[in-house]
Structure 1
Amino acid sequence: MSESNTTDAQKTAGATTLVVSAKPVVLPAPDRGEDLQVRVSAPATGSDLPVIVFSHGFGWSMNGYAPLADFWAAHGFVVLQPTHLDSRTLGLPAEDPRTPRIWRFRIEDLKRVLDGLDILEASVPDLAGRLDRDRIAVAGHSWGAQTASTLLGARVLDSDAVPGEDMSDPRVKAGVLLALTGLGDDLTPFASENFPFMRPSFDTMTTPALIVAGDHDQSHLSTRGPDWFTDPYTCSPGNKSLLTLFEAEHSLGGIPGYEVAETTDESPARVALVQRLTTAFLRSALYPEDTSWKAAAAALEDKPDPLGKLQSK
């Protein structure tokens, strides 16, 4: 990227701008049972735009997570949101033969999005030629965070605790993992029996990432308390940061959507903090000369009554 283009992209990301969106953009997926639907959101102006591929939580779709997708797009990112097979919009029955492998299909969905950037770029008027393919991040919430983490280097352990396939992707340079579940040793008997893929190893999750956890997030899938959600930070190598949100539960204040019934800890201020800090982290992770993250971290630390705390390693 030339210096002038870098400046242009950073100016675009520095201030809220008009967002354009297209859905559903369909990517052929003959081995999936049905084609992959994606929502594309992008700033109306700017060039060399960085990309975020976002994986939704269980049951959601490309239509969710507007508080994050809209904010990121308005601040200079192209946001790509696939609809996974577990989405309530698809109504896949539990007895469908694909159900046991949905966790794998989810990962393949994210890679399919990366493979289909040309199609996705062409789907939005005037977006063609404006993506920066060297600055790509993944993000996800809950099950979506687990999906995204595999592209960052996390692996799934088998029943003998042997790491499975390496599904990391060198095209991905950074990640944001929101309410990512912890180690499989602490699953409840029900979760251990029904969700064998929830046995991650973070030992090889080397790509820089921000992990966001709520200190009131008590999962029914774990025998531990909210600290379970800090495992992805504690058990992974360096180049990681952990944002612990005070009094936040699994929705982290309401990131899945505005006025969503399943949000039990509604807090516009908390959502705004997640918006600001995730944006600043990704800016600085994708642009090493960018100081947004350093400034945002200092601002949080200086607050007399902060909504959370940051750790980095």
Structure 2
Amino acid sequence: MRHLLAVAAGLAVLAASACSAPAPPRSAAPSATPTGPAILPAPTGAHPVGTTALYLKDTSRRDPWNLDAEARELKVTLWYPTEQRDGQQAPYMTPKESELTLKGGRIGGVPDDTLSKTRTNAVKDAEPTGRDLPLVVLSPGFTKPMNTLTSLAEDLASRGYVVAGIDHTYESHATTLADGRVAECLACDSDADPGFGTGLVAGRAADVSFVLDQLPSKWDGADRIDRSRIAMVGQSIGGAATMATMVKDPRVRAGIDMDGTTYARIPKSGFPRPFMFIGSPPHVPGGGDNSWERDWKLLTGWKRWIVLAGADHQSFTDVPLLAGALGIKPAYGLLPAARGAELTRTYVAAFLDRHLKSKRQPLLDKPSPRYPEVTFCPATCGRS
């Protein structure tokens, strides 16, 4: 079932399933007075955070969207623990990326570079620290650049993870490539095609496997990564791509789908690696998207399915945190932006700590009075 995403005046025109249909035309004018630059919440871990960007080219594949490109180019943003607290603050995005993101989301009435002024918590090109660090791959939703998962990435890095966020080129409104070209969303014209979701997640799975192949030789800090401890987390189509990647690549030990309809088919014999669904109310059993119910029956290892009351498709991203800077009154349901970020960070980290660091996490065993918004499915929500 394809149901349109409720967003703040069109910042993201994705669907609550993993793919999107264009939102109907609407006014581009903000509905409130902008509050100044957005400030991402501070990371909760013990480490300062560094970040750097890698630009990779897969010459074994033609780009699936740009028929003039003979190779698949990718931008990978890394976040990691560092000891360096001072230095240049990493930009959230460039002014041109901000302009194209606002244009793609039909946001007007604010300067084109508004999103580039968002304050992050990472030091650009800081020296990494630590040894045997687990690796987490992040994959964003369709049309959204990797930047929109920055708050989660920074938090995980502060907790001792290396995070590799992949911009899947031509699948978002703006991705700056190695030579300074800004790739726009060529895939956006194809999202209604039959089999689009299945093909998209297969391509993203190939992107992830290529990044895992290349990372050891392309990043000077790669020797700090424990390559036996890799997980993947994605939002929307990125969550669907997490499942698709794990089916194909055994290096990814554990995965999380944040509010994304799944497309890759799990073998009928079952899938034993740890997996967690975390979503908004439409993803309760019987809520309209049956892909989670279908896959739940085939997950034969450790698994959880949790739903956040009041959440919306964007609650697992930075999008609600940006609303004030854009002068928008959020249309995200009942979950405040800061609380949505807290819940996402908390439950994602608990899952990763359990499965990549072997730390006991009672939070994942039953409901907690600290987080009454969280319901464990399928037993206690909807029909099982």
User: Are the structure 2 counterparts of residues 312 and 121 from structure 1 closer, same or farther at C-alpha, using a change threshold of 3 Å?
Assistant: farther
User: Are the structure 2 counterparts of residues 229 and 17 from structure 1 closer, same or farther at C-alpha, using a change threshold of 3 Å?
Assistant: farther
Alpha-carbon shift at residue 210 of structure 1 (Å): 1.4
The aligned counterpart of 1:137 is 231
Q: Is the 8 A contact 2:320 2:332 kept in 1?
A: no
Identity %: 25
1:1-313 matches, cutoff 5 A: 15-23=45-53, 25-30=54-59, 31=61, 32=63, 33=69, 34-44=72-82, 45-85=129-169, 86-89=171-174, 90-93=183-186, 101-122=199-220, 127-153=221-247, 167=248, 169-181=249-261, 198=263, 200-201=265-266, 203=268, 204-216=270-282, 225-226=287-288, 228=290, 230-231=292-293, 232-252=295-315, 254-256=317-319, 258-259=321-322, 264-265=332-333, 267=336, 268-288=338-358, 290-291=359-360, 293-294=361-362, 296-297=363-364, 301-303=367-369, 306-310=372-376
- Code of the aligned partner of 2:56: L
User: Are the structure 2 counterparts of residues 63 and 177 from structure 1 closer, same or farther at C-alpha, using a change threshold of 3 Å?
Assistant: same
Alpha-carbon shift at residue 15 of structure 1 (Å): 3.6
Bigger RCO of structures 1 and 2 (CA < 8 A, at least 6 apart): 2
> Following the alignment from structure 1 to structure 2, what is the Cα–Cα distance between the partners of residues 272 and 202?
34
Alpha-carbon shift at residue 257 of structure 1 (Å): 6.4
User: Are the structure 2 counterparts of residues 259 and 96 from structure 1 closer, same or farther at C-alpha, using a change threshold of 3 Å?
Assistant: closer
Q: Is the 8 A contact 2:137 2:165 kept in 1?
A: yes
Alpha-carbon shift at residue 226 of structure 1 (Å): 5.0
User: Are the structure 2 counterparts of residues 301 and 40 from structure 1 closer, same or farther at C-alpha, using a change threshold of 3 Å?
Assistant: same
User: Are the structure 2 counterparts of residues 146 and 305 from structure 1 closer, same or farther at C-alpha, using a change threshold of 3 Å?
Assistant: closer
> Following the alignment from structure 1 to structure 2, what is the Cα–Cα distance between the partners of residues 39 and 281?
22
> Following the alignment from structure 1 to structure 2, what is the Cα–Cα distance between the partners of residues 252 and 94?
24
> Following the alignment from structure 1 to structure 2, what is the Cα–Cα distance between the partners of residues 236 and 38?
30
Query: Which range moved further: 262-271 or 60-69?
Result: 262-271
User: Are the structure 2 counterparts of residues 202 and 67 from structure 1 closer, same or farther at C-alpha, using a change threshold of 3 Å?
Assistant: farther
Report the RMSD for the aligned CA atoms in angstroms. Answer: 3.2
User: Are the structure 2 counterparts of residues 94 and 130 from structure 1 closer, same or farther at C-alpha, using a change threshold of 3 Å?
Assistant: closer
* Structure 2, gaps ≥5 residues long: 1-42, 64-68, 83-128, 175-182, 380-384
Alpha-carbon shift at residue 178 of structure 1 (Å): 0.7
Q: Is the 8 A contact 1:37 1:82 kept in 2?
A: yes
> Following the alignment from structure 2 to structure 1, what is the Cα–Cα distance between the partners of residues 370 and 76?
41
User: Are the structure 2 counterparts of residues 93 and 73 from structure 1 closer, same or farther at C-alpha, using a change threshold of 3 Å?
Assistant: same
> Following the alignment from structure 2 to structure 1, what is the Cα–Cα distance between the partners of residues 56 and 150?
22
Give a deviation string over 1:222-266, Cα, whole Å, max 9, x none.
xx6356464243443231111211122212354556315787245
User: Are the structure 2 counterparts of residues 94 and 242 from structure 1 closer, same or farther at C-alpha, using a change threshold of 3 Å?
Assistant: closer
> Following the alignment from structure 1 to structure 2, what is the Cα–Cα distance between the partners of residues 57 and 68?
14
User: Are the structure 2 counterparts of residues 306 and 287 from structure 1 closer, same or farther at C-alpha, using a change threshold of 3 Å?
Assistant: same
Task: Indicate the SS of the match to 1:151.
Answer: helix
Task: Indicate the SS of the match to 1:306.
Answer: coil
Q: Give the TM-score normalised by the residue count of structure 2.
A: 0.59
> Following the alignment from structure 2 to structure 1, what is the Cα–Cα distance between the partners of residues 239 and 257?
5
Higher helix share: 1
Q: Is the 8 A contact 1:213 1:244 kept in 2?
A: yes
User: Are the structure 2 counterparts of residues 28 and 217 from structure 1 closer, same or farther at C-alpha, using a change threshold of 3 Å?
Assistant: same
Alpha-carbon shift at residue 312 of structure 1 (Å): 9.0
The aligned counterpart of 2:91 is none
> Following the alignment from structure 1 to structure 2, what is the Cα–Cα distance between the partners of residues 65 and 76?
17
Give a deviation string over 1:281-308, Cα, whole Å, max 9, x none.
11111233x11x22x236x734177011
Aligned residues: 258
Task: Indicate the SS of the match to 2:80.
Answer: strand
Alpha-carbon shift at residue 151 of structure 1 (Å): 2.3
Task: Indicate the SS of the match to 2:163.
Answer: strand
- Code of the aligned partner of 1:264: Y
Q: Is the 8 A contact 2:240 2:264 kept in 1?
A: no
> Following the alignment from structure 2 to structure 1, what is the Cα–Cα distance between the partners of residues 259 and 306?
10
User: Are the structure 2 counterparts of residues 304 and 91 from structure 1 closer, same or farther at C-alpha, using a change threshold of 3 Å?
Assistant: closer
Task: Indicate the SS of the match to 1:241.
Answer: strand
- Code of the aligned partner of 1:172: V
Alpha-carbon shift at residue 79 of structure 1 (Å): 0.6
